[in-house]
Structure 1
């Protein structure tokens, strides 16, 4: 196989991996009865622990008003809490309710465990190569997203 063929094969595998991860997220959102933005918010709160609205907006790349609207929707559904920060009463902290944390762990826990087991099959050098590829690919994708945003609306 030529190097060009290998590049195409790996690029296709990376795209397929992204599509498969997207399928997991779609299934989880459907299971929880939330939209994909709300799922991103729940995941960010799961990873970051109790978090301020401003930090959450940055983590999920939403405007503060859009984040506030989504948080209010999720609080009303009983999936999140929004309480005054005991260290700074001017600020609210957003957290998962235990049932939401349990649901996310139940949905994503097996994928996480199986992924770690799969990664455990690789050598340290192979893992370093994979981590480098994924980090560079993530940066490439984020740069592409920014370039596309700068282009503005292309269709009437």
Structure 2
């Protein structure tokens, strides 16, 4: 019985997560970046400068694919390729100020979209959702 309940909750969370991501992804249309480029930029901004190999691993793509993504981000002025202080032959990919700003603006749009939806909830529902958010944060660490 408990196992069935756990499976049901997991399935509902999975479906809700997909719908939430799709809803929020629509807010990213204003960035002018494709989803893979925006995702890579996010990793660079939040993780700090990374090697191409580390970035490819984080994004679960092959290095040649990541190289093309980084090329586009460099061309857009959102990241730079800097010499790697630990490897004379290597480079580190770092976010530029415009790259950070673009990501901050996107986050503000996504949070704003959620704020609009949360306004329709009752006080009880908002408190329940806040508790659920705490639990989601805990199980995804």
Q: Shared fold (TM-score greater than 0.5)?
A: yes
Deviations 1:59-84 (A, max 9, x none): 00010100001101110111111111
Separation of aligned partners in 2, 1:44 and 1:38: 10
Aligned to 2:66: 67
Structure 2 CA distance for partners of 1:92 and 1:129, relative to 1, 3 Å: closer
In the superposition, the TM-score normalised over structure 1's length comes to 0.65
Let me know the Cα RMSD of the aligned residues. Answer: 3.6
Shift of 1:11: 2.3
Aligned pair count?
129
Shift of 1:31: 1.4
Aligned to 1:122: 131
Shift of 1:129: 7.5
Separation of aligned partners in 1, 2:14 and 2:138: 13
Which 5+ residue runs of structure 1 have no aligned equivalent? 136-156
In the superposition, the TM-score normalised over structure 2's length comes to 0.71
Alignment of 1:130-141 (within 5 A): 131-132=138-139, 134=140
Shift of 1:118: 7.0
Contact 1:26-1:36 within 8 A present in 2 as well: no
List structure 1 segments (4+ residues) > 2 angstroms apart after TM superposition: 2-14, 86-89, 117-123, 126-132
Aligned to 2:35: 36
Secondary structure class of the residue paired with 1:51: coil
Secondary structure class of the residue paired with 1:122: helix
Structure 2 CA distance for partners of 1:15 and 1:101, relative to 1, 3 Å: same
Higher RCO (CA-CA < 8 Å; seq separation 6+): 2
Separation of aligned partners in 2, 1:131 and 1:43: 22
Shift of 1:130: 6.3
Contact 2:52-2:91 within 8 A present in 1 as well: yes
